[in-house]
Amino acid sequence: MANRTTHADRIGEPGAVVRYGRDGTLEMVNLIWGLEPAWPEERPFEVVRSEGRAFPGNRCVVPASLFFHNRRRRRYRFSRVDDDHFYLAGIWRPATPRWPSAYAVLSVDAGEDVRPYADRQMVVLPRGMQMDWLDHRVPETDILRALPAHTFRAELWDDGDVPSQAELAL
């Protein structure tokens, strides 16, 4: 697996996540994007609904500078209006005999900026809030929600390839 410092471009590819390691220290590691499906012929779970669930352990954050949604065969790219990078709230699972260590990003009902393009969106943590998620410092209900209106800009992305994300650090 190649070393990466960005979110995976496609399901099943490695991407960087920040989590607590076995020794209790923060680490940035490469995990596969997509949790093991219940049946081998099913698609991996790349996004997990957050509503009605608790996430007491195996939390991670995914450094990112943009995310995508498809609508009516068109692809839209979302980035912050202030061009700052952010983190996606996620969970990870250790390897099993048939699946490598992997992560998924949590989702919520789409906020005002994303709603014209999708019903749901990934949970975005502004820079500075990543430790609130990792350390359970803030109640989940205060974190697992869409950000306010005018946080993101949407751009039509007609190119077939997903652009590489900017190099990010914690």
Question: pLDDT (tens digit, 9 = 90+) per residue, 21-30?
Answer: 999 999 999 9
Q: What CATH number is given to the structural domain containing 97?
A: 3.90.1680.10
Is residue 9 a part of any domain in this protein? Answer: no
């652009």: which residue's tokens? Answer: 163
* Residue 122 CB neighbour total at 10 angstroms: 28
113 belongs to a structural domain: yes
The answer to whether 19 touches 59, Cβ cutoff 8 Å, is yes
**Does 93 reside within a domain?**
yes
- H-type helices in 55-170, by residue range? 130-134, 140-143
Q: Scan for tokens 């957050």, then name that residue.
A: 50
Specify if 7 maps to a domain.
no
Q: Which domain holds residue 39?
A: 14-156
Whether residue 36 is contained in a domain is answered as yes
Residue 4 in domain: no
Domain count, the chain: 1
pLDDT tens readout for residues 87-142: 999 999 999 999 999 999 999 999 999 999 999 999 999 999 999 999 999 999 99
Residue 56 lies in a domain: yes
